[in-house]
Amino acid sequence: MPAPMRPSMNPPADYPVHRQELSPIHLLERAGEVYADWPAVSDGDRRLTWREFRARARRFASALRADDLRKGDRVAFLAFNSEPLLLAHFAVPLAGGVLVAINTRLSPGEVAYIVQHSGATRVFVSADLLAVLAEVPPTVQRVVLGPDFEALLAHGTEAPVEPWLTCEDEPISINYTSGTTGRPKGVVYHHRGAYLNALAMVIDHKVVRESRYLWTLPMFHCNGWCFTWGLAAVGAESICIPRIEPGPTWQLFDGGVTHFCAAPTVCTMLVTDPAAHRLARPVRLFTAGAPPSPTLIARMGELNFQLDHVYGLTEVYGPFTVNVPAPGQEALSAEEQAKLAARQGVPNPCAGEVRVVDLDMNDVPRDGATMGEVVMRGNVVMTGYFEDAEATARAFHGGWFHSGDLGVQHADGAIELRDRMKDIIISGGENISTIEVEAGGGLPSRGAGVRCDRGARREVGRGAQGLRHPQARGCPQRRGTGRALPDPAGRLQAAPPDRVRRAAEDLHGQDPEVPAARPGVAGPRPPHQLRDRTSSRPSSVRLRYQVRARPSTRCTAALGKRFCSSARWRALKR
C-alpha cells in the first residue's frame, strides 16, 4: 500500500518560496517514502521498516495531541535504548513537544529535580526503571513502556501530522548535564542544530543505506549524538540494545553491525573480553570522552575496527570536531599514527568554528604548544541553559561558547586537548596539564604498576595548596590499600619530560597528617567525579585544589571483568 503523502507546514502566502525550516522531523517523513521497505529498527524480536516506523511516529504524535499536549510542552523519557525512545525523538517534536531524555543512571532525587525543573507534564518510563520515579510528584503522568505505551499509540492515527513548527530556532529537546557540586543544567537544543548535526554525523561516520548502527551509546546522551535523527537521513538501520554486554556485542559485530559509538572505557572492555577476535568485516567506530591511548588505537585496528576520534560537549550536541587523517598518514609508523589520531581535530561539516584563545580572546599561535581555552560558535551550539540566563551569559561571554577545556592548535588547524581550565597543575612556575603527566608516564612506577593511595599531599610551586586523592569511584582499591595496580601496556613506565616528572613527583608525595578526603557530598554528584568530555563542564567553587583519580589507563582487576583506574592526578581550583 503506498505511504500517505508527507504533511506540509502550510506556510503563509508571503513565506519565502526558497525556505523550509530545518528540522529532523522532515528526515523521517522522507525516509517513510524513500526507504519505505528497508529495515529501520531492530529491538529484540521487533523488526520495523521505515514505513512502519513512520506510521508509529505519526500514531504517537497524534495520540499526544489527543491527550492535550500543547506546543512547547516538555515530554520526559526515562528509558533504556529501545524503539520507543528512538520513536520519541521524532514523535514528540512532530506533535509540537520538547523531548527531555533523562540519564537512566541518576538517583530518584536527581530524576525528580529534572522532571520538576524542565516542567515535564508526563514521563514515559521503562518498566525496570519505574522505581526511580519514586520522588516525582504524582501529578506528573506516567506511562510505562510496554502494553500501556502500545495502548496509547492505538488511540493515534497514521494520517500525516501537520507540524506546528514555525521557526527552526524553536526548542526540540532539553538535555541535562551531569551535576558535580551543583544542580544539572538543562541544555536547550533547537531544530536547526539537531538537523545539521544529524547530517554531519552520518557524513563523518560514513553511514549509508546499507549500514547497521548498534546503539551502544545511550540515546539520552546528547540525543545519541544526533544519530537518533541522522540514521533516517540515509535510511540506515538501528540495532537497539538496553545495555552493553561484551559477549553478545561481539555476536552482533559478527552478525553484520557496521557502525557504533563508544568511549575508550567501553572499547577497552570490548577488546579485553575473552570473546574478542579479529572481525571478518571492518566496523567503524566513533570514540570520545578521553583521548584514546596509542595502545588502544593499535589494538582496535588489529581487531578490524576503524576508529575516528571526535570531541564535543552536551552544549554543542555532542561531537563538534572530528579527527580527519591527513594524506599519507597511513604510511607513518603505528606509534605516530596513534599520536595523530589522539587529536580532537577540526569542526565537522555543519558545526561552525572552533578557536583556541587566551584570556583576552586572542588566538594562540598554531604551534601545537601554546595552551588556551577551546571556544566554539556556529550551527550546533545550544540556544542556552533552560531558565538560567546567568549561566548562559557566562557560557557565551564574548560571543563564543566557552568549553572550559584547555588545548593547543596545530598548524593544520586541528585542536588537541591538554586539560580542563580548572585542572592545570602549577609546578615550579610551569603550567603542566594532567594529560601530559599521564601520557608521559609521569607517575613514578612501582614495579609492575602504580599505587592508588589516599591522602597524598605535596607542596606545588610556591604555594602550599592541599592536594588530595579521593576514593576512585568503581576502583577495587578505592579504600586506599596501597596495592599496586597492573599496567600491562607499560604506559606508565616510559620516561616523561623533566617538567612532567617533576609535577608528578610533587603530586605523589605522602603526608600522613592530611585527613582523608571525604567520599562525597549530598546532591546530584560527588565532587570527585569528572564529567565525560562529550558531556559538560564541571563546576567546583569550593575546592581550591583537589587531586583526584580519573579513569584512563585501564586494567582488568583481579575481581574479573571489573575495571579500575590507575592513579591519575587531577587538580581542581577551590
| Angle CA 56–223–391, to nearest 5 | 135
Looking at residue 295, its pLDDT comes to 85
Looking at residue 290, its pLDDT comes to 80
Looking at residue 330, its pLDDT comes to 84
Residue 3 CB neighbour total at 10 angstroms: 16
Measured in degrees and rounded to the nearest 5, phi and psi for residue 49 equal: -85, 170
How many angstroms separate the CA atoms of 166 and 154, rounded? 28
| Cα–Cα nearest to 371, from 329, 324, 320, 425 | 425
Looking at residue 523, its pLDDT comes to 38
Report yes or no: 426 and 378 within 8 Å, Cβ to Cβ: no
| pLDDT above 60 (res 456) | no
Radius of gyration of the chain (CA): 24
Cell (9 digits) for 408: 593547543
How many angstroms separate the CA atoms of 345 and 357, rounded? 16
Give the 3-state secondary structure of residue 42. Answer: strand
| pLDDT above 80 (res 468) | no
Better-scored residue on pLDDT, 571 or 286:
286
How many angstroms separate the CA atoms of 224 and 213, rounded? 12
Give the 3-state secondary structure of residue 379. Answer: coil
Looking at residue 571, its pLDDT comes to 31
| Cα–Cα nearest to 401, from 358, 445, 355, 447 | 355
Give the C-alpha distances (Å, rounded to integers) separating 481 from 381, 454, 478, 484, 528.
44, 8, 8, 9, 19
The CATH code of the domain at 22-191 is 3.40.50.980
Top mean pLDDT of 7-16, 365-374, 522-531 is at 365-374
Please state whether the predicted TM-score (pTM) of the whole model is above 0.85.
no
The structural domains of the chain, with segments of one domain joined by +, span 22-191, 424-574
Residue range 506-510: mean pLDDT, rounded = 38
Looking at residue 489, its pLDDT comes to 41
Report the 3 state secondary structure along 104-151. CCCCHHHHHHHHHHHCCCEEEECHHHHHHHCCCCCCCEEEECCHHHHH
- Among the residue ranges 106-110, 290-294, 375-379, 496-500, the one predicted with the least confidence is 496-500
Residue range 235-258: mean pLDDT, rounded = 97
| pLDDT above 70 (res 65) | yes
Strand partners, 373: 357, 406
Question: Residue 117: which pLDDT band, with cuts at 50, 70 and 90?
Answer: very high
pLDDT tens column, 218-236:
999 999 999 999 999 999 9
Residue 137 CB neighbour total at 10 angstroms: 9
